Structure 1
Amino acid sequence: MPHDAAGLKRMAAKLLRAGVEQVGIERGDGPVVDTLMQAALVVFVIPPGQVKNLRSRYGSAGNKDDRFDAYVLADVVRTDVRRLRPMLYDSEQTTALRGSVRARRDLVTHRVAAANQLRAHLQIVFPAAATLFADIDSAITLTFLGRFTTQEAADWLSPKRLAVWLGSVSYSGGVDPAVLHARLLAAPRGVTGEYASLHAATTTALVAVLRTLTAQIQILAASIGEQLDAHPDAAIFTSLPRSGSVRAARLLAEIGDARGRFPTRDSLTCLAGVAPSTRQSGKVKTVTFRWGADKQLRDALCDFAGDSRRANPWAADLYAKATARGCDHPHAVRILARAWAHIIWRCWQDNVPYNPAAHGALQTLLNQDQPTAARPRG
């Protein structure tokens, strides 16, 4: 059946005529799921990894076949529906925010890759430009490369000429022009001669890509800020320490606004992959990293938790205790993220912003640092 509008409509009608009320599917988004939800069918999302494990229940070959997988999904919904949780949809407002947040993050990833590509290129053809300023993708670096594309062009510069040029582009990096010029002279020589212009074309192309990516990231960030301001749950996530605008929007988008999706705080921590996985066989018991998780949600939660320790004494103390026990940085951040997930879940369910004054563990820690008042003698 084709996945066009008519085909999806025929699919929904066929299911309804057959008396189907519940559907199992591997992917929880897309036109097929939208059509099923619009037809008032109960949708259960069974991830591909779980379907892979369920195949052995119906045969030992383990072959991947779409028709067989469809049978497995249908039979699991028929026999084990009590173990499944119906899919709950976030609002369209949250879904749109999620799309913007993920698109911005993808562009940031592309910008990092393009910056690395430019750096590798410059280290061969124009090494001085690769280390002249702090960041290869900063505005001043891209402006410099737009004006001085080759080693020969940069040879024209003297400390005085460089100072004049920096002033003309409103450089505010705080490094003395003489120091920058010394860096140009100290770096290995780049390519000169008739082939330098060919390498300059590559430099110009990479600079243009970085400029475009940076501009689009800024546009998306502005859109995300506007969407966040208009969202009814914005106050919950912007109240978190060092959440900012984009980070708060990312947390909101990945957690969503369908409260029934996470009926308990443990359901949130497990799906986010910040709760450990316990395995036991006989007398052997191991606690390991949880591989089965929503990676986007885990990354958003850990990104927030890792930075929160710089502004919240309770978070800093929890992180320090974890590292003192021998946990490496990613493990300690996951421990902190799990603790934050409990707090966020409570605020999210109660629809109230985070209030440090009502955070008991934080207040207990702060009060430990207060000197005990001496009793008056009576």
Structure 2
Amino acid sequence: MTARAFCGIDWASDHHDIAVVASEGALLARARIGDDAAGLQQLFDLLATHGDTPETPIPVAIETSRGLLVACLRATQRPVYAINPMAAARYRDRHAVARKKSDHLDAMILANILRTDAAAHRPLPADSELVQAIAVLARAQQDAVWDRTQAGNKLRSHLRGYFPGFLAAIKDTRDGLCSPIARTLLAAAPTPEQASKLTLTQLRALIKKAGRKRGIEAEADRLRAVLRAPQMRQLALVEQAMGHQTLALLRQLEAACTSADDLAAASVESFEKHPDAEIITSFPGLGSLTGARVLAEIGDDRSRFADAKSLKAYAGAAPVTRASGKSVAVLARRVKNQRLAAVGYVWAFAALTASPGARGHYDRRRDDADRHTAALRNLFNRMIGCLHHCLTQHVLYDENVAFPDLAQQQRPAAA
């Protein structure tokens, strides 16, 4: 890096400490700015004083990749480095043997990290505005799914304590407690006493209200039989109280389900506007929603990953080798983008039924004594390497190119 100055920012919720360091290590300026527009302008004026221009912007190091301050700095097209707080803490010992700590010292340490070791750190990617919006929506949708799962588990645990008959009634229902039928039925009859009094007419009405179109009569008969079957019961007043708690937990589940569905629709809508959407969804096992999650994490700045190996390491698909002397251990990677790794397992699992090549690759790994998770991770490693190639070369997925061994096996023998 040929910059003549480097900036470090120790951020907080209401203020930020700034340090500007020269290329030879001298402290040029320090300041504390507010977390507002006036503070941002003060930062820009300070940087301009020390040689910041649109052609040669001063790079900035900060311990977060999110927030308004980071967004405004990225909008100026300057290099912004998000330094891991644990990494910054290791650098602190180089400047303070007595282990002292202050906001100004932390800002100066961040600036010196860029001055001495910029090559060991990567700037935030120059993703497009559309990809940044997709990232917000896709991550929020994933959070809503996790919230929905948590709310469903809480409700399930509560029902097990006083209404096991309801769990038996919906155990074979797709999506379980999160299904529209389960939520509609539980809202109408949150206790065993109320559920046992539901008539066939009422059950048919509830099933229709939940949106079911077929098999209404048979489902109503089944629910009536299950809900009226003998089961263990709490005392009457206790049962009523637990019914009120059920309604409160159900409202949380309803909100989580609605949020997940709304955010999924918004994520898909934004994702399908992106030019890379066609390439990503050409891969087996990737739909618009999972594709949006993948694009949200890898972005569309193609200079972000130098090669497929870098992307595989970022996704946690590539293993880590630890060698010392004659000892060599190959382990699963723990430090990774957890969101990309999570969607990777979903992608790999879905590809098993959508791609003969993916299925064959998985089966070979299983035959080589890999466990299910390890085989899926290996398949994800293969698929995300193919994705890197397709995105950089602007080509669609080709099964014969991705799995040439399978194509060779399927090729008819010459006469």
* Superposition TM-score, scaled by structure 2 size: 0.81
C-alpha contact (below 8 Å) 1:124/1:190 kept by paired residues: no
Aligned pair count reads 371
Which of 9, 14, 20 is 2:46 aligned to? 14
Equivalent residue number for residue 152 of structure 1: 193
SS for the counterpart of 1:145 is helix
How far the C-alpha of 1:139 sits from its partner, in A, is: 0.7
In structure 2, relative to structure 1, the CA distance for the partners of 1:186 and 1:315 (3 Å cut) is same
Which of 159, 168, 182 is 1:122 aligned to? 159
C-alpha contact (below 8 Å) 1:276/1:289 kept by paired residues: yes
C-alpha contact (below 8 Å) 2:320/2:333 kept by paired residues: yes
Q: Hey, what's the Cα distance between the residues in 2 that align with 1:41 and 1:371?
A: 56
How far the C-alpha of 1:99 sits from its partner, in A, is: 0.5
Which region of structure 1 is more displaced relative to structure 2, 363-372 or 27-36? 363-372
Amino acid at match of 2:273: A
> Does the alignment pair 1:202 with 2:271?
no
Q: Hey, what's the Cα distance between the residues in 1 that align with 2:207 and 2:63?
A: 58
> Does the alignment pair 1:188 with 2:231?
yes
Amino acid at match of 2:161: I
In structure 2, relative to structure 1, the CA distance for the partners of 1:242 and 1:289 (3 Å cut) is closer
In structure 2, relative to structure 1, the CA distance for the partners of 1:345 and 1:61 (3 Å cut) is farther
Amino acid at match of 1:101: A
Equivalent residue number for residue 293 of structure 1: 336
Q: Hey, what's the Cα distance between the residues in 1 that align with 2:377 and 2:136?
A: 25
Unaligned runs of 5+ in 1: none
Please identify which structure carries the higher strand content.
2
C-alpha contact (below 8 Å) 1:127/1:190 kept by paired residues: no
Q: Hey, what's the Cα distance between the residues in 1 that align with 2:353 and 2:325?
A: 43
Q: How does 1:99-114 map to 2 (within 5 A)?
A: 99-114=136-151
In structure 2, relative to structure 1, the CA distance for the partners of 1:81 and 1:137 (3 Å cut) is closer
Which of 89, 92, 102 is 2:129 aligned to? 92
Which region of structure 1 is more displaced relative to structure 2, 319-328 or 268-277? 319-328
Amino acid at match of 2:269: E
> Does the alignment pair 1:228 with 2:265?
no
RMSD: 2.6
How far the C-alpha of 1:262 sits from its partner, in A, is: 1.1
> Does the alignment pair 1:325 with 2:362?
no
Which of 250, 266, 274 is 2:293 aligned to? 250
How far the C-alpha of 1:8 sits from its partner, in A, is: 1.8
How far the C-alpha of 1:65 sits from its partner, in A, is: 4.9
SS for the counterpart of 1:309 is helix
Which region of structure 1 is more displaced relative to structure 2, 122-131 or 59-68? 59-68
How far the C-alpha of 1:187 sits from its partner, in A, is: 5.4
Identity within the alignment, %? 33
How far the C-alpha of 1:22 sits from its partner, in A, is: 2.1
Q: Hey, what's the Cα distance between the residues in 2 that align with 1:278 and 1:60?
A: 33
Amino acid at match of 2:49: R
Which of 289, 304, 308 is 1:261 aligned to? 304
Amino acid at match of 2:68: P
How far the C-alpha of 1:203 sits from its partner, in A, is: 1.6
SS for the counterpart of 1:280 is strand
In structure 2, relative to structure 1, the CA distance for the partners of 1:361 and 1:218 (3 Å cut) is closer
